[in-house]
Amino acid sequence: MGLTPPRLPAGLRGRLERTVTAAMSAVAAGNPTPAHVLATPVLLDLWEQAAAEAALPYVPPGYLIVGVHMEIWHLRPTPIGLQVEVTATLEAQDGWRLEWGLEARDRELVARGRLTQQLVDGDRFLAAARAKLAPPPG
Report the distance separating Cα 84 and Cα 81, nearest Å: 9
* Average pLDDT for 62-78: 98
Cβ neighbours of 138 (radius 10 Å): 3
* Average pLDDT for 99-117: 99
Domains and CATH numbers, the chain: 13-131 (3.10.129.10)
* Average pLDDT for 20-44: 97
Which amino acid, residue 89? Answer: T
Percent of the chain with pLDDT over 70: 99
| Backbone φ, ψ for residue 23 (5° rounding) | -65, -15
Instruction: Report residue 138's pLDDT band, with 50, 70 and 90 as the boundaries.
Output: confident
Mean pLDDT computed over every residue of the chain = 97
Instruction: Report residue 20's pLDDT band, with 50, 70 and 90 as the boundaries.
Output: very high
Which amino acid, residue 66? Answer: V
Contact predicate 94/30, CB 8 Å: no
Instruction: Report residue 136's pLDDT band, with 50, 70 and 90 as the boundaries.
Output: confident
Exposed e or buried b per residue across 22-39, where buried means at least 16 C-beta atoms within 10 angstroms of its C-beta: eebbbbeeeeeeeebbbb
* 1 has pLDDT over 60: no
Q: Among residues 92, 118, 90, which one has the least CA distance to residue 102? A: 90
What 3-state class would DSSP assign to 9?
A: coil
